[in-house]
Amino acid sequence: EAQVTQNPRYLITVTGKKLTVTCSQNMNHEYMSWYRQDPGLGLRQIYYSMNVEVTDKGDVPEGYKVSRKEKRNFPLILESPSPNQTSLYFCASSLRGAPYEQYFGPGTRLTVT
Amino acid sequence: AQKITQTQPGMFVQEKEAVTLDCTYDTSDQSYGLFWYKQPSSGEMIFLIYQGSYDEQNATEGRYSLNFQKARKSANLVISASQLGDSAMYFCAMRGAPRSSASKIIFGSGTRLSIRP
């Protein structure tokens, strides 16, 4: 089944404890992206990748890191999480190297205390 | 800077009626793309429809159509014959021009649509 998977789905952590949210797609898509969703703000793009080893900042990259060493994986790293990073995170992928029809993962709900 | 505005935080519509969800945008790019996504209460994001700025015809996908008015910078989503399953949050989004901001995408704040039986 064609899909985007994210792990974990739910995470409660403490301020400053490094964490990684994994994202994997099995559709051989070139484009991958991370978003955060906060009430009243819609989705905001954190980072995106147009292909392997090519990443760039979205609108809200501060406090996040990403890497794209393989085409299928695009992990999101929070080196030192803070409470303002409490949010619902989505990973998405698109066939071409730009966000056309995007397939989204199920989301990761992160709480930082 | 690019901007997407959805002015309707919430809407109630009777089942089987048509509904229009408003979306206006602002961009200085000549080439751009507009999207609509649906987010049911279960939380997943579902792609509905895409319109390129140079597409001459309005995009349609089943019961969904995008009413694209370039001069007014609007990209309204029209759902014909609404169903109870259409109750969800709807997001309008835009990507920028090739070779500059094609890979960036911005979303509006969303409209929560509720269908009454």
Residues 15-54 of chain A with CB under 8 A from chain B are 31, 33, 35, 40-45, 48, 50
Predicted local confidence at residue B56, as pLDDT: 85
> CA angle, corner A37, sides to A35 and A38, nearest 5?
145
E strand map for A30-82: 31-38, 42-51, 54-57, 65-66, 76-78
- Residue of B43, B103, B109 lying closest to A99 (CB–CB): B103
Q: How many CB pairs under 8 A join A and B?
A: 61
Predicted local confidence at residue B64, as pLDDT: 97
- Residue of B4, B6, B50 lying closest to A101 (CB–CB): B50
Contact residues, chain A, for B6 at CB < 8 Å:
42
Contact residues, chain A, for B108 at CB < 8 Å:
42
| C-alpha distances in Å from residue A79, one per residue of A67, B48, B65 | 13, 35, 43
pLDDT value at A101 more than 90: no
Predicted local confidence at residue B102, as pLDDT: 60
Predicted local confidence at residue B97, as pLDDT: 65
Q: What is the pLDDT of residues A49-98, one digit of tens each?
A: 988 998 999 999 999 999 999 999 999 999 999 999 999 999 999 987 66
Contact residues, chain A, for B4 at CB < 8 Å:
42
Enumerate residue ranges in chain B where pLDDT < 50: none
Decide if B106 and A104 are in contact by the 8 Å CB cutoff.
Answer: no
Decide if A88 and B44 are in contact by the 8 Å CB cutoff.
Answer: no
What is the distance in angstroms between the Cα of A113 and the nearest Cα belonging to chain B? 23
Q: Where does residue B70 rank: exposed (0-12), middle (13-18), buried (19+ CB within 10 A)?
A: exposed
Rounded CA separation A98/A96 (Å) = 5
3 state SS for chain B: CCEEECCCCEEEEECCCCEEECCEEECCCCCCEEEEEEECCCCCCEEEEEEECCCCCCCEECCEEEEEECCCCEEEEEECCCCHHHCEEEEEEEECCCCCCCCCEEECCCEEEEEEC
- A100 at B interface, C-beta within 8 A: yes
Predicted local confidence at residue A40, as pLDDT: 85
